[in-house]
């Protein structure tokens, strides 16, 4: 399926993108004309979720950039500056937090405990 701005996107990806935009973007900027959606407007839109839901905010930003690239006559020229201009107006994203690794000495007990449950999670592992 041909998606926004010529990218080939699957139906599920397009549906997810539309849901994110409907939830996070359209209520605040859906009534605006495309040429009025500048970096400050996009930053204001993303700010509430930028640090609390960074992955969502980044994906909403990406979707907005795709749309603006497609709808604006100069969109293809703005692609790199669109993301940077918005990020410059927002706080630094928090560093990702990774889960600590399990000590290898605890692995046998973990597997025994998991095997006793016979859940789909165990089968997947």
Read off the pLDDT of residues 106-121 as tens digits, 9 standing for 90 and up: 999 988 888 887 777 7
| 46-102 confidence digits (pLDDT tens) | 999 998 999 999 999 989 888 888 887 777 776 667 777 787 888 888 777 778 888
pLDDT for position 21: 95
Give the whole-angstrom CA distance, residue 72 versus residue 81: 14
| CB crowding 84-104: b at 16 or more within 10 Å, else e | eebbeebeeeeeeeeeeeeee
Give the whole-angstrom CA distance, residue 86 versus residue 111: 46
pLDDT for position 1: 40
What is the three-class DSSP state of 2?
strand
pLDDT for position 56: 93
Q: Classify the C-alpha dihedral 90-79-10-26 as positive or negative.
A: positive
């Amino acid at each position: 399926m041909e998606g926004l701005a010529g990218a080939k996107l699957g139906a599920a990806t397009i549906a997810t993108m539309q849901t994110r935009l409907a939830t996070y973007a359209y209520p605040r900027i859906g009534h605006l004309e495309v040429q009025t959606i500048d970096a400050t407007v996009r930053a204001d839109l993303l700010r509430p979720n930028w640090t609390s839901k960074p992955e969502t905010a980044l994906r909403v930003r990406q979707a907005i950039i795709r749309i603006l690239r497609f709808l604006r006559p100069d969109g293809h020229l703005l692609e790199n500056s669109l993301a940077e201009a918005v990020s410059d107006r927002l706080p630094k994203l928090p560093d990702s937090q990774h889960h600590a690794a399990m000590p290898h000495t605890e692995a046998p007990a973990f597997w025994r405990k998991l095997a006793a449950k016979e859940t789909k999670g165990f089968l997947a592992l």
